[in-house]
Structure 1
Amino acid sequence: MTFGPHACSTAAGFEAEWLVTDGLGGYATGTVAGLRTRRYHGLLVTPDRRLALAALDPVLTLPGGATVRLAVHEWASGALDPSGHHHLEQFELADGVPRWRWRIGEIVLEREVAMVHGRNAVAVTHRLVSAPPGATVELSLTALCTWRDADAERDRTSASPDVVILDDGGIEVESAYRVHGPGFRAIGEWYLDAYAREEAARGLNAVEDLWAAGAFTATLAAGDSADVFACSDDLPPAGAAATVEAARRRARRLVRASGAREGVDRALVLAADQFIVTRDGAPAVIAGYPWFGSYLRDTMTAYEGLFLHTGRHAEGRRLLQAHADLGERMRATELGDADGPLWYVHAVERHVARTGDADLAAELLPAVENVVAAYTKGTRDGVGVDPADGLLVIDADHSGLTWMNARFPRGAVTPRDGKPVELNALWANALGAVCALRERCGRDASVVQSRRDTVRAQVVKRFRAPDGWLFDVVDARPAPYPKGGGSEHDDPVLRPNQLLAFSLPYAPAADEPHLREHVLRAVGATLVTPLGLRTLAPGEFGYHGSHRGGVVPRDTAYHQGTAWAWLLGPYVDARCAAGLPVDATLAGVEAHLSECGLGSVSEIAEGDAPHRATGAPFSARSVAAVLHARAAIRQNCKMQGAEPTQTGKMKLARAAGPRKRRNALR
């Protein structure tokens, strides 16, 4: 992905963001132009989400003595100073490594950033690509430091960061991290009122102060380099250039191991890698950058895309094993999650089905059966089986624990107590998954199969709505309602949750083709956008087509019309199961890879056109869904005797001679 000088110096350069990660949860991130537009932007963020090194501001002193500042900052006054992005001639993201090139006449300076996989350490390399013959320039890199929670700010009213100059010329900040580079000289002053425009747009505090600890300096001729290495451990710095090259080699290995051949797939494989981390010795998944942590629902919803479609079966196996005690935890404590354990059962079955791992099936069969038993008995999160129909029901005190989980102090924004459709689709799917695993292990599955058949029949019977699609919730109470009050009703609001009843491997409504086609027509006509599916149809009461402003308006819109990319996976699966065209479904989201979180997929987008991306610019579920959907489209094309194009579309190959066939595939 390459940006030219115009894009680098205009709005596109301020909006497009890059990300590199360390495999532990730490990261470095910023914009193409170099402007820090978020409180999270920096060159070193630790796995426990502490912002350390905020920026390295480059200044070139030219042979004639003139100085050119190449950084770019925005201040609370509205000033943009310096404006070094005007000297950017190119930004490139290749093999996951971002590269900037600044040009001042004949002088070209290049910067690259990479992290050490398995260490919270970042290398920032600078190379003078070209200069007049015999000329040298001086490069100064001002280290803007802080030490704060990534979700907060620090200012001059607090004590200045404690900076110690080390014997090797580097510095140690707050006894928490080190920065090494050439020719350090101390500065020790506050840069006041740095402004983060994206935080202002989100209704949050947008102003902070940064501590200019000092500057690293080097005199460079053409071909020379000056590198800075920052880390939050006590290990000596690795070679910065070697770190960058190691990051490139690792990216290429990941792509080769995945078998990805097309540009979109290669980008998505590298995007998936950013979310897979090691925590407490086991693989885990970061739900999104720059502010999310690791959560059961996001991890298991994204499992198939992140691990199975990228060839990372061994890591996935260890992750599933690490959650083998899930059933016990459901009975012992509140997980804050109504459906995550059901997604875990789905992930285990999908892993075994794809890999044929009979040993894992035998090992984890008790774990998935314990999950089913926990739901049957009733979880600490208020989810249990209604003995009248065998469906899962959520009590009123836990109505915000589905994936539509935005909350206000007074309660859930989208209360879904009662029997949500996707929860019961996952419940039927989990029973089917247990049947499949028991059969694979040579165990009798008849009792579970009988129970699954009952649940499937009840889903079709209870959720069929007069409008022709499925109720979103049955046996629901009106909201707002007094605790314990209100009469039960069935909610016919048009949402995408019902897609799981048709898309999962053991979908309860899979044998209802007419119902499925009617649902897909309604969903396609009202919910589908280029970047995902709306969470509420525009004609429904409470629809919000905009997702911007402060916390309250954004949370209000979060599941009330905002489009989610992860829903593209179930939508494509349901269309493939129905034999409907899928060739153009992903065109918009694939083009989006070069718009916001570069090489990745945003968490959400506004429901109203032009569907501005919002939320986290790097989302695990979104990336996983697109990976899965592309695989489903390829499989669908294969079954129909077609070939997908590089954009995910497909063209039918005519069997009318070699020339016509080549033209069709072209």
Structure 2
Amino acid sequence: MIDIRFGPQVCGELSASSTREWLVTDGRGGYAMGTVAGLRTRRYHGLLVVAGETPAARKVGLVSLDPAVTLPSGRQARLGAHEWSSGVVDPRGFELLERFDLTEGVPRWRWRIGDVVIEREIAMAYGRSCVAVVHRLISGGPVRLDLAAACTWRDAHGERRADGPAPRLEQVAGGAVVDGAFRLAGPDWTPEGQWWLGVRHREEAARGLHPDEDLWYAGRFSGALDEPGAEVSVLAWADDLAEEPPPATALVEAARRRHRAVVAAAKPDDDVDATLALAADAFVVRTATGPDVVAGYPWFGAWSRDTMTSYEGLFLRTNRGEEGRDLLRAYAATLSEGMLANTADTGRVEHNTVDATLWFLHAVSRHVAVTGDTDLGAELLPALHGVVAAHVAGTRYGIRVDPADGLLTQGGPPDVALTWMDARVYGVPVTPRTGKPVEVNALWVNGLAGLAELTELTGRDATELRDRHARAVAAFRERFPTPAGWLHDVVDAPAPAYPLGGAPHHDDDLLRPNQLLAWSLPYAPLEPDEVTLRRVTEALFTPLGPRSLAPDSPGFVGRHRGGPAERDSGYHQGTVWPWLVGPFVDAYRRAGLPTDDLLVGLEGHLTEYGLGSVSETADGLAPHAATGCPFQAWSVAELLRVR
């Protein structure tokens, strides 16, 4: 794996160390997450964040363990870090950090106070909501270490404040149970019980959200570090409260062993591949219904579009085909009227996407092609044929095959956005894309061909599918090229002067990256043209992947910043999306163009934001600062897939 290590000039500089985030996960959708500095900059940061019935229904429990070292002289050094509503950062333990590293997926801090060096490591138990925090004396001593446990129990998307009830604290052997929800265990527990008022999260302030919360100082653990090698460890867990986990040191070592095994199973070609294989592991979770995919940390749960787009990178590229098989079968069971369920993050299961089901067709086709698992193909074949039949007949939101040309059209109520460009502001889609979007029809063409091949593999006749495919390809090649030299983003869109359903239509020729799928998919409708690709590259490509809109287009937004409405307005209007580097590289390869320099920026990005991972988005203008989720499934998956 690549070497992720920072010295005092990064660790001690808050602007650098507070924007680099680490993540460890529990295999269920829960996690521990924070910054190199130790400063909590998001409401989502914490040492024990617990997944609920779905990966998105998370609760924050143990927020921080703030170390304070009492030296032989009696002087105390505080190693934690908090920012307060006044803007003051106190304590400033990061100024004593001499090194941070992320080794085999385990974050490690090293503080120096004169000749005293103390190390901290954090890991989670796989398959259990449990975090282990180990402190070890490396040199110097003897010293005493106190660990102040700041707690809450709240929805990960919200805050808890002192004007409500304080968390309930139940004393148990070796520690306490907080709000009946999670347990703390460690040496020499002393209960405290007081509010820390006005803890500020600077990233939430920058995102236009409420930045402050109050934390409950539940108590402290204490232990002596008499000689190098001595340890003080704390465990926190939220399941089977009566069953104490293995020792913290053993959990850290178990995490390392498992991470090494995950990487070895992926058979990486180099250190970057190894890093991405471990990053991919964070997104593959096991729920009560089987394997699933977390779309991004810290705030996303499972989204079928992201899952299916990520499928090949997360499962096939990492040799997790057996888990992938179970996932595809589970998702097939969600099909309704030929549509895959989109997400339950909103609190209810929704079937409100035009492309997730087409990505599902692609995922099944790729699974069979890569693994040779024709048994799964045969098992799912009736459901896949049902998808095509439902789209031909017409399904929700006006999704149907146009009998005039065989292309797929979509467009339901005016408040619905069905493609991956689905941002809405005050209920109004920013990029509605009603009509026949280019990537949707590329996926439709690709899906028909893949299903025809799968049908023939099982010995069945695929003539009708082949005819539909040929007709859609011919219509695609006729309708989507523009006089400007690239592809229309949408054809047969409602004219701007007419409401949805008005008679006149127009073809949208804004230069967007969606057209890449028309050249990149295995059964893409077009062969890539070098001149066109170079033109698209000049307008859209950045070191972190393609922009979602060319800078000279009306409505271009170069900075993905501000409050929710401002950010959503720019989400697909120029913001860079790293996942699109996958189809970009595929199109280049199909055109016979060199690709060696297309991934350099993203490989460098692995140490810039979400450490060892790839961000959701980035600014469309230089220096292309990362935005959105620091750890995003399809960004990791597509980079891994095309390396």
Place the TM-score, normalised by the shorter chain, in its bin.
over 0.9
Residue equivalent to 1:113: 122
The counterpart of 2:291, out of the listed 283, 286, 295, is 283
Tell me if structure 1 keeps the 8 A contact 2:486–2:536: no
Residue equivalent to 1:650: none
Q: Secondary structure at the match of 1:563?
A: coil
Alpha-carbon distance in structure 2 between the residues aligned to 1:196 and 1:481 = 45
Alpha-carbon distance in structure 2 between the residues aligned to 1:231 and 1:309 = 33
| Pair 1:603-2:616 in alignment | yes
1:244-643 correspondence runs (5 A): 244-328=252-336, 330=338, 334-397=350-413, 399-479=416-496, 482-485=499-502, 487-510=504-527, 513=528, 516-630=529-643
Describe the superposition over 1:467-518 as per-residue Cα deviations: whole angstroms up to 9, x where unpaired: 11111000102448534347310011100001101100010113xx5xx323
Alpha-carbon distance in structure 2 between the residues aligned to 1:332 and 1:278 = 20
TM-score (norm 1): 0.92
Shift of 1:443: 1.6
TM-aligned CA distance change 1:480 to 1:314, over 3 Å: farther
Describe the superposition over 1:85-133 as per-residue Cα deviations: whole angstroms up to 9, x where unpaired: 01101101000000001111111111100000000110001111111xx
Shift of 1:436: 1.2
Residue equivalent to 1:39: 43
Q: Secondary structure at the match of 1:218?
A: strand
Q: Secondary structure at the match of 2:413?
A: helix
Tell me if structure 1 keeps the 8 A contact 2:133–2:234: yes
Identity %: 55
TM-aligned CA distance change 1:125 to 1:480, over 3 Å: farther
Q: Report the AA paired with residue 288 of structure 1.
A: G
Q: Secondary structure at the match of 2:218?
A: strand
Describe the superposition over 1:544-566 as per-residue Cα deviations: whole angstroms up to 9, x where unpaired: 00110111111010000001000
Q: Secondary structure at the match of 2:282?
A: helix
Tell me if structure 1 keeps the 8 A contact 2:304–2:340: no
Tell me if structure 1 keeps the 8 A contact 2:62–2:149: yes
Any gaps of 5 or more consecutive residues in structure 1?
631-666
Q: Report the AA paired with residue 638 of structure 2.
A: A
Describe the superposition over 1:349-407 as per-residue Cα deviations: whole angstroms up to 9, x where unpaired: 00110111121111111122122122112222331111111111112416511000001
Alpha-carbon distance in structure 1 between the residues aligned to 2:577 and 2:150 = 36
Shift of 1:325: 2.7
| Pair 1:233-2:239 in alignment | yes
Describe the superposition over 1:518-563 as per-residue Cα deviations: whole angstroms up to 9, x where unpaired: 3312211100001111010001000000110111111010000001
Alpha-carbon distance in structure 1 between the residues aligned to 2:34 and 2:478 = 51
Tell me if structure 2 keeps the 8 A contact 1:76–1:207: yes
Q: Report the AA paired with residue 189 of structure 1.
A: Q
The counterpart of 1:102, out of the listed 111, 127, 132, is 111
Shift of 1:329: 5.2
Residue equivalent to 2:54: none
Residue equivalent to 2:160: 154
Alpha-carbon distance in structure 2 between the residues aligned to 1:336 and 1:470 = 26
Q: Report the AA paired with residue 82 of structure 2.
A: H
| Pair 1:126-2:109 in alignment | no
Residue equivalent to 1:29: 33
Alpha-carbon distance in structure 1 between the residues aligned to 2:286 and 2:397 = 28
Q: Report the AA paired with residue 12 of structure 1.
A: A
Tell me if structure 2 keeps the 8 A contact 1:470–1:519: no
Shift of 1:461: 0.5
Q: Secondary structure at the match of 1:336?
A: coil
Describe the superposition over 1:180-236 as per-residue Cα deviations: whole angstroms up to 9, x where unpaired: 111000111111111110000001100111000000011111211111100111231
Alpha-carbon distance in structure 2 between the residues aligned to 1:64 and 1:37 = 33
Describe the superposition over 1:23-63 as per-residue Cα deviations: whole angstroms up to 9, x where unpaired: 00000000001000001000000113111110000000111
Alpha-carbon distance in structure 2 between the residues aligned to 1:136 and 1:479 = 74
Q: Report the AA paired with residue 407 of structure 2.
A: L
Tell me if structure 2 keeps the 8 A contact 1:532–1:604: no
Alpha-carbon distance in structure 2 between the residues aligned to 1:299 and 1:386 = 28
Tell me if structure 2 keeps the 8 A contact 1:286–1:293: yes
1:129-140 correspondence runs (5 A): 129-131=138-140, 135-140=141-146
Alpha-carbon distance in structure 1 between the residues aligned to 2:496 and 2:611 = 40
Tell me if structure 2 keeps the 8 A contact 1:70–1:83: yes
Shift of 1:446: 1.8
Tell me if structure 2 keeps the 8 A contact 1:596–1:602: yes
Alpha-carbon distance in structure 1 between the residues aligned to 2:252 and 2:560 = 37
TM-aligned CA distance change 1:479 to 1:49, over 3 Å: farther
TM-score (norm 2): 0.95
Q: Secondary structure at the match of 1:594?
A: coil
Q: Report the AA paired with residue 313 of structure 1.
A: G
Residue equivalent to 2:186: 181
Tell me if structure 2 keeps the 8 A contact 1:476–1:488: yes
Q: Secondary structure at the match of 1:91?
A: strand
Deviates more, 1:477-486 or 1:537-546: 477-486
Q: Secondary structure at the match of 1:381?
A: helix
Alpha-carbon distance in structure 1 between the residues aligned to 2:237 and 2:308 = 31
Deviates more, 1:396-405 or 1:185-194: 396-405
Deviates more, 1:585-594 or 1:325-334: 325-334
Alpha-carbon distance in structure 1 between the residues aligned to 2:137 and 2:435 = 64
Shift of 1:410: 4.2
| Pair 1:70-2:79 in alignment | yes
Q: Report the AA paired with residue 492 of structure 2.
A: D
Alpha-carbon distance in structure 2 between the residues aligned to 1:29 and 1:16 = 11
Describe the superposition over 1:140-184 as per-residue Cα deviations: whole angstroms up to 9, x where unpaired: 000000011111111111111111111x12110111111111100
TM-aligned CA distance change 1:331 to 1:432, over 3 Å: closer
Residue equivalent to 2:347: none
Q: Secondary structure at the match of 1:388?
A: coil
Q: Secondary structure at the match of 2:112?
A: strand
Alpha-carbon distance in structure 2 between the residues aligned to 1:501 and 1:32 = 41
Alpha-carbon distance in structure 1 between the residues aligned to 2:225 and 2:157 = 38
Tell me if structure 2 keeps the 8 A contact 1:197–1:206: yes
Count of equivalent residues: 622
Alpha-carbon distance in structure 1 between the residues aligned to 2:641 and 2:497 = 37
Describe the superposition over 1:267-302 as per-residue Cα deviations: whole angstroms up to 9, x where unpaired: 100000000001224110000000011011000000
Alpha-carbon distance in structure 2 between the residues aligned to 1:200 and 1:160 = 25
Alpha-carbon distance in structure 2 between the residues aligned to 1:480 and 1:162 = 59
Shift of 1:326: 4.2
Alpha-carbon distance in structure 1 between the residues aligned to 2:436 and 2:337 = 23
Q: Report the AA paired with residue 358 of structure 1.
A: T
Q: CA RMSD in A?
A: 1.4
Q: Secondary structure at the match of 1:110?
A: strand
Alpha-carbon distance in structure 1 between the residues aligned to 2:16 and 2:398 = 46
Q: Report the AA paired with residue 178 of structure 2.
A: V
The counterpart of 1:53, out of the listed 62, 66, 70, is 62
Q: Secondary structure at the match of 1:323?
A: helix
Q: Secondary structure at the match of 1:73?
A: strand
Any gaps of 5 or more consecutive residues in structure 2?
52-56, 342-349
Shift of 1:599: 0.3
